[in-house]
Structure 1
Amino acid sequence: MPHIVQFPEPGRVELVETDAALLTPGAVRVETWYSGISAGTELTAYRGTNPYLNATWDAQQRLFVPGRPSFGYPVQGWGYSEVGRVVEVADDVVSLTPGDIVHGIWGHRSDAVLPASTLEWRTLPSETDPVLGTFARVGSIALNAVLAADVRLGERVAIFGQGVIGLLATRLAALSGGRVYAVDTVASRLSKAAELGAVETIDASREGGAGAYIRTLTDGGADSAIELSGADRALHEAIRSVVVEGLVAASGFYQGGAAHLRLGEEFHHNRVRIVASQISGVPVGLGGRWDQPRLVRTVMDLILAGAVDAGALVTDIVDASDVADVFARLDSGDPGILQAVLRFDAAPERSR
């Protein structure tokens, strides 16, 4: 029987059996090898804080409407960083064949049936470490944030939050020619940020705040900032860190209120611009040239070429049956975890 990860209630996650999907025309069956956990998003299901669990998303009005939740527990199929092997194709599919290695979005499940058109451009060379494919989505989120912050050659960009996506953003901003000031509270993550190209690393807990310190280091402020921790205090410090009329890309998934975000202070007096960066769309002004497939292709080309060492961010590869343990560690804020990856039974032995 195939298996799928589900959240039966807040604070619990488990691997359970599920029915195998039928192969339909135009589709392929994929056996999952690896599935990356996106801690920020998935902890909202684990903790019960995701807005979809408490309100209805009205797609026409583009509003969350209080009342009946969009979905409830048990929550199944979360995850958007999967890699696997094509094991069966429909009779009308010619773009993929059994044995092809593909990456995509089908959730933490051991078996998936997907349209071939969504995977035919997401193949991996056979000699590639397949775990690298789990970075396509999180890398796209990081690249989208860098584009939203309008990072340019020689400009200074402060990046708040050096988790997996923040570290990827640090590397991508450095590759774009930006001078990156990386901010976090975890020393090991700041060390990794320096390895990835940050010119300065800053402890977010320093007295006086990271924002004021960055203004001192840069003699007036960063040109832009990216906030990826999802903490309102960090967003406030990001606003404090930029120049007059500077740009802040708010890219974290913020939960609850924002008691530490005080818009009457630097935001108001420095006329700071805040833009939201969210993976469902590219920044305004780039829509004619960029879309989600281009984000994915760009990131994966850089990873496969070795310009972005995504593999160095993998700290934990665990059997899917141990999903409860790894979520408990993520929920506790274990500083030793960067990228955790679930390994399903079909996964081959890794060569690196």
Structure 2
Amino acid sequence: MRVITFEEPGRVSAALEPPAELVPGSVRVRTMYSGVSAGTELTAYRGTNPYLHRKRDTERRLFLDGRTHAYPLTGWGYQEVGEVVEAAPELTVGDIVWGIWGHRAEAVVPADRLAGHVMPPRATPLHGVFARVGAIALNAVHAADIHLGDQVAIFGQGVIGLLATRLAVLSGGWVVAADAIPARLELARKYGAAETFDVRAGSVAEFTRKRVEGADTAIELSGSHHGLQEAIRTVRRGGRVVAAGFYQGEGAGLRLGEEFHHNQVQLVSSQIGGVASWLAHRWDVERLQRTFMEVVHRGELDVGDLVSHVVPVDDAPAAFDLIDEHQSEVLQLVFTFEESQ
């Protein structure tokens, strides 16, 4: 069975692995689609992921000297959709399910991890690859604590940024979407952004303050420290910035003695390992994923426009090279496995 492996920085293979043994309480799923996270997985491809250079102490929640992961890295993948081909009592052969089992042609998955993950009969299976990235976007929108009429600036209109734009609009926000790629700004308008801003034209903060005192909240999803600095500049006094991008290395470009300090800006981290602390008694990551998929199934968010590339798994080396070298040309890249079974 094909499985994608990061052999070393800049080198990917679609290697072979034997099928896993079906154990009690599990199901065998044959992968139809596997979605790539152009942010997180690119850190593995480039070798910049902090887990490759620092050791995470999970008990003390600290990064220390050492490393957590080492090459080769096998089976990374952000979201998969597949058909159940051997089932436990909780599921039926032929069910189309979404979940996380990595970029591999087939997997044995505990049945309880797929509870509530069955695609409705008329749903488009490909749309299931958005459950995880959708949950990341929804988590950031929840952390922003958006209220009806709030002025919201969203930095970065990649897949997660576009999803956050739509979810913020559905939450009652008046959204300014910022990016440097015109095609993505056009999609942001389709998703309901009231205004868009091409960051190559100047400062989002200055643009926003020509109309209002400043955004009530900003969600930063570009993963750029310069983007985070501009998000801090954009919010009004006491405003909130949700830092939801996966920032790499040191924070060059941040000037925390300026607007952050003088405008008493709230800086909140949002990461899919957990929900906002003030919501933890009601929400968890599973609920985020299911809620997002319900929004998709109701037709309130069309994810079809976000799929830019559907690629056979054997072309994985070229696909990751494309994402690395021409990231602006790729929104959601999806691997197919049907011919590799």
TM-score bucket (shorter structure):
over 0.9
Contact 1:215 1:242 in 2 (8 A): no
Choose from 205, 208, 214 the match for 1:211: 205
Q: Which residue of 2 aligns with 1:244?
A: 237
Q: Which residue of 1 aligns with 2:330?
A: 337
- Deviation, 1:325, is 1.4
TM-score (norm 2): 0.98
**Unmatched 5+ stretches in structure 1:** none
Matched, 1:296 2:289: yes
* In structure 1, distance between residues paired with 2:134 and 2:19: 30
Q: Which residue of 2 aligns with 1:260?
A: 253
Q: After alignment, is 108-117 or 322-331 more displaced?
A: 322-331
Deviation string for 1:171-192 (max 9, x for gaps)? 0000111000000000000010
Give SS of 1:174's match: helix
Q: Which residue of 2 aligns with 1:121?
A: 116
Residue type matched to 2:192 in 1? Answer: G
Report the identity percentage: 53
**Unmatched 5+ stretches in structure 2:** none
Deviation string for 1:128-172 (max 9, x for gaps)? 210000000000000000000111111010000000000000000
Q: Which residue of 2 aligns with 1:199?
A: 194
* In structure 1, distance between residues paired with 2:291 and 2:340: 26
Choose from 177, 198, 223 the match for 1:182: 177
- Deviation, 1:346, is 5.8
* In structure 1, distance between residues paired with 2:246 and 2:336: 26
* In structure 2, distance between residues paired with 1:321 and 1:333: 20
For the aligned residues, what is the CA RMSD?
1.2
* In structure 2, distance between residues paired with 1:215 and 1:234: 17
Q: Which residue of 2 aligns with 1:130?
A: 125
Deviation string for 1:67-124 (max 9, x for gaps)? 2x111111111112100000012xxx21101111100011100010010001121000
Contact 2:105 2:340 in 1 (8 A): no
Choose from 79, 82, 87 the match for 1:81: 79
Give SS of 2:108's match: strand
* In structure 1, distance between residues paired with 2:159 and 2:198: 17
Deviation string for 1:197-236 (max 9, x for gaps)? 00010011223x222222223x210000000010000000
Contact 2:181 2:328 in 1 (8 A): yes
- Deviation, 1:336, is 2.3
* In structure 1, distance between residues paired with 2:37 and 2:153: 22
Task: Give aligned pairs, total.
Answer: 341
Contact 2:179 2:199 in 1 (8 A): yes
Give SS of 2:301's match: coil
Choose from 315, 331, 335 the match for 2:308: 315
- Deviation, 1:347, is 9.5
Q: After alignment, is 146-155 or 198-207 more displaced?
A: 198-207
TM-score (norm 1): 0.95
| 180 and 347 in structure 1: CA distance in 2 versus 1, 3 angstrom threshold | farther
* In structure 2, distance between residues paired with 1:335 and 1:59: 35
Choose from 43, 46, 68 the match for 1:70: 68
- Deviation, 1:333, is 3.3
* In structure 1, distance between residues paired with 2:303 and 2:118: 17
Contact 1:33 1:346 in 2 (8 A): no
| 347 and 306 in structure 1: CA distance in 2 versus 1, 3 angstrom threshold | farther
